Amino acid sequence: IFKIARRNIWRNKRRTLITVASVFFAVFFAVVMRSLQLGSYAVMIKNVVSSYTGHIQIHKTGYWDDKIINNTFPEDPELEKKVSEIQSVDKIVPRLESFALASFDEQTKGSIVIGIKPEEENEMTKLANKIVAGSYLSEDDKGVLVSEKLASFLKLSVKDTLVLMGQGYHAATAAGKYPVRGIIHLNSPELNNKMIYITLPEAQELYSAPEMLSSLSILLKNSDDINAAEKAISEKIDLNKFEVMSWKKITPELNQAIQSDNIGGEFMLAILYMIVGFGVFGTIVMMTAERKKEFGVIVAVGMEKTKLVGMLFYETLLLGFIGIISGFLVALPIIFYYSTHPLHITGAASKTFESFGFDPVMAFSTHLHFMISQIIVVFVIVLIAFLYPLIHIFKLDPVKSMRN
């Protein structure tokens, strides 16, 4: 039966090509569209994670609701060791973050001061690559890095002296003078307007908070492991003392935007599937109508209807398989090429992306799970379309079919 089915599909090449083309375009457009959508999400998440937040952060309980210097916690090598033992964790970056007034000459502006370990911070955020003037901080540096827009507002440049004033730990006075080592450009316009980076020991001294941290930022080896990693970290630490937050909670606006866009993308795919489904169904109806007399003759000469159904099933299976494999094989090189060579957006659209703090690029995702799911959906559509000839054959009257 399979051999007959294989020969049958090439008896009428036009009909075969129409059916295969319907399935081919369904798989091709579904896989490429979904790859572009998921790849764009990955770029957005990477921008947020690698620019500042990390995948997960650990704070003292209550810090996120009230970000004051008093809601910090002591450096704890044992805590970092427990977290680093989790297989999906790649890097742990300690920080001390607080508010300060930044002043130079007659200009003053509120800013966020981040105490960092320069080498570890650079491994996560690639901060050294964002230097537009001057140099990066060394481990024992006494200077600061100032974000580009803040430096422009204060009218300061490299080697100028910046004055920082604020409130330290337990109401102590925080004040200090620091030479500007470098000017950095941050993709996020909001961060680019107010960020100052200083070494962790200098920040702890400025705020009279020796060996205190406001957060541990955690970078994972794979973004897909975030839920499992968050759960694993929560199980290893004391949740009465600490809170664990993923980037989804830290930047809920981005998470909601991705979810909303994802729903829109799935809706568009559903419309595509409907169009393809009707196309495949119409082709199979046409094929069944054209072969009505043939089916009547086959049944009349003694073939059982179940075997005829089996033959048609194999034909449908082969047509679907050829269309699916060809669509997948054509889509695959495009996806892999643009995953390593993203599409760069230019003009007004580029400025729109940058205004939200995202790189103006559109990349493709190479995750196999969504490709396989699109293939399965199209294959199911083909099998559902097969129900029409199945029902038609079981109702077939050989005499009437041959007369027609």
Q: Tell me: the pLDDT tens digits for 142-155?
A: 999 999 999 999 99
The predicted pLDDT at position 316 comes to 80
Q: Average pLDDT for residues 192-204, to the nearest whole number?
A: 94
For residue 354, what pLDDT band results from cuts at 50, 70 and 90? low
User: What tens digit of pLDDT does each residue of 91-113 get?
Assistant: 999 999 999 999 998 899 999 99
- The Cα 371–Cα 35 span in angstroms is 8
Tell me if residue 359 falls in helix, strand or coil.
coil
Q: What is the 3-state secondary structure (H, E, C) of 207-257?
A: CCCCCEECEEEEEECCHHHHHHHHHHHHHHCCCCCEEEEEHHHHCHHHHHH
pLDDT band at 14 (very low <50, low <70, confident <90, very high): confident
Would 56 be classed as within a structural domain? no
The pLDDT assigned to 311 comes to 81
Q: How far is CA 378 from the centre of its chain?
A: 24
pLDDT at 372: 86
Domain check: are 201 and 67 in the same one?
yes
57 is a domain residue: no
247 pLDDT exceeds 80? yes
Interatomic CA distance for residues 230 and 85, integer angstroms: 13
Total structural domains within the chain: 2
Same domain, yes or no: 185 and 138 = yes
Query: What confidence tens digit (pLDDT) does each residue in 265-281 have?
Result: 888 888 888 887 887 78
Residue 41 pLDDT > 80: yes
285 domain residue, yes or no: yes
Please classify residue 27 by burial: count the beta carbons closer than 10 Å to its beta carbon, then call 0-12 exposed, 13-18 middle and 19+ buried: buried
93 and 6 fall within a common domain: no
Same domain, 199 and 127: yes
Enumerate residues 6+ apart whose C-beta is below 8 A from 17.
none
Mean pLDDT of 11-32: 83
pLDDT band for position 204 (cuts 50, 70, 90): very high
404 pLDDT band, cuts 50/70/90, is low
Which residues are paired to 8 by β-bridges? Answer: none
- Would 33 be classed as within a structural domain? yes
Same domain, 7 and 118: no
Domain ends where: 182, 206, 238? Answer: 238
Amino acid identity, residue 351? K
Q: Specify whether 36 is located in the same domain as 108.
A: no
Within-domain flag for 247: no
Confidence of residue 355 (pLDDT cuts 50, 70, 90): low
- Three-state SS string over 76-109 comes to CHHHHHHHHCCCCEEEEEEEEEEEEEEEECCEEE
What is the three-class DSSP state of 195? strand
Distance CA 319, CA 381 (A): 12
Say whether both 202 and 70 belong to one domain: yes
Q: Would 249 be classed as within a structural domain?
A: no
Contacts of residue 118, Cβ cutoff 8 Å, sequence gap at least 6: 127, 136, 137, 138, 139, 141, 199
The answer to whether the beta carbons of residues 54 and 93 sit under 8 Å apart is yes
SS3 label, residue 336: helix
How large is the greatest C-alpha to C-alpha distance in the chain, in angstroms? 102
Query: What local confidence, expressed as pLDDT, does residue 11 receive?
Result: 73
Q: Is the pLDDT at 201 greater than 90, yes or no? A: yes
Of 207, 238, 269, the residue at which a domain comes to its end is: 238
* One domain for residues 221 and 267: no
Please give the backbone phi and psi of residue 160, each rounded to the nearest 5 degrees, phi first: -70, 165
Cβ-proximal residues to 188 (8 Å cutoff; 6+ apart), any chain:
51, 52, 357
Identify whether residues 330 and 364 lie together within a single domain: yes
Give the pLDDT of residue 321.
86
Please give the residue range of the domain that contains residue 341.
Answer: 2-48+254-403
Same domain, 285 and 357: yes
Task: Write the single-letter amino acid at 11.
Answer: R
CB 37 within 8 A of CB 261: yes
Is residue 244, in this structure, part of any structural domain at all? Answer: no
Final residue of a structural domain among 193, 212, 238: 238
35 and 169 fall within a common domain = no
Q: What average pLDDT is seen over the chain?
A: 87
Same domain, 124 and 209: yes
- What is the per-residue pLDDT across 319-353, written as a single tens digit (0 to 9) for each? 888 888 998 899 999 999 988 888 777 777 677 76
**Residue 287 is assigned to a structural domain of this protein:** yes
